[in-house]
Amino acid sequence: MLYLVGLGLSSVEDITVRGLNVVQKCARVYLEAYTSILMAASKEDLENFYGREVTLADRELVESSSDTILEGADKVDVAFLVVGDPFGATTHTDLIIRARSLGIPFEAIHNASVLNAVGACGLQLYNFGQTVSLVFFTDNWKPDSFYDRIKENRKIGLHTLVLLDIKVKEQSFENMARGRMIYEPPRYMNIETAASQLLEIEYVRKEEVYTDNTPCVSVSRLGSPDQKFVAATLGELSEIESGEPLHSLVILGHRTHEMEIEYLLDFATDKMKFQKAVETEVEAAVELPPPVTADEDDD
Residues annotated in the binding site for S-adenosyl-L-methionine, as ranges? 9, 85, 88, 113-114, 164, 222, 247
Strand partners, 115: none
Residues in the chain: 299
DSSP state of 3: E
Asked if residue 32 lies in contact with residue 62, where contact means CB atoms within 8 angstroms, the answer is yes
The angle formed by the CA atoms of residues 86, 24 and 78, to the nearest 5 degrees, is 55
Q: How far apart are CA 220 and CA 197, in angstroms?
A: 18
Strand partners, 215: 233
Q: How far apart are CA 72 and CA 69, in angstroms?
A: 9
Binding residues: 9, 85, 88, 113-114, 164, 222, 247
Interacting residues of 113 by C-beta distance below 8 A, sequence separation 6+: 6, 9, 84, 85, 88
Can you say whether the dihedral through the CA atoms of 67, 70, 74, 75 is positive or negative? positive
